[in-house]
Amino acid sequence: MHLTHKLVSQQYVLDRFEVSDFKELAEELKPVPEGDHDDGMTHFGLSLISRTVERVQLPHDQIRQYDDNIRKHTVWINQQRSEPIRWKYFQYLALLFTEIFLDRVFKDPHGLCSAMNRKLAQINEQLGVSEKLVDVTR
C-alpha cells in the first residue's frame, strides 16, 4: 500500500469528500481558475460544491463556511503584502483539509478521535501484519 493511503488524517478527510484518493480532488481542481467567483466564493469552493450531490459528511453549507474562512484569512494576509496571494489548487486543498480537521478538533475532539480510530482500523484491515499502523491514543 502506498504511503498516502496510510495517512490516517488525510484518508479521514478524503472520506468526507467521498473519494479514495487525493488525486481525484486535485485533478478536478487543476483546471479551475484561481481567485474568487462573483458569488462570493472561491472558484475552487464553488467547483467542489457543484461536483456532485450534497454529501452527508460534508454538506454544501459546511464547504461554503470553510471556503469563506479561507477567503477571510487570505484577505487578512493580503492586507499585509505588496503582492497578493493567489492559492494554487493544491494549496487550496491543503487549507481546506486543515479547516475541516481543525473544525472537528475544536467542535468534537472525542468524536474525531473515534472516527480516526475507525479509519485506522479500516486501513489496518488492508495491511499485512508487519505493515500495520499503530494506534498511539491507547
The stretch 101-118 carries a mean pLDDT of 88
Taking a C-beta distance cutoff of 8 angstroms, is the pair 6, 21 a contact?
Answer: no
| Closest to 88 measured CA to CA, from 25, 34, 27, 22 | 34
Q: Is residue 137 part of a domain?
A: no
Please write the tens of the pLDDT for every residue from 65-105: 999 999 999 999 999 999 999 999 999 999 999 999 999 99
With respect to residue 58, please indicate whether it lies within any of the assigned structural domains: yes
Tens of pLDDT along 1-22? 444 445 677 788 888 888 878 8
Q: Kindly state whether residue 73 falls inside one of the protein's structural domains.
A: yes
pLDDT at position 13: 85
Q: Is residue 27 part of a domain?
A: yes
Give the range of the structural domain holding residue 118, as residue numbers without chain letter: 3-131
- Percentage of the chain beyond pLDDT 90 is 41
Inside any domain, residue 49: yes
Q: Is residue 138 part of a domain?
A: no
The domain total for the chain is: 1
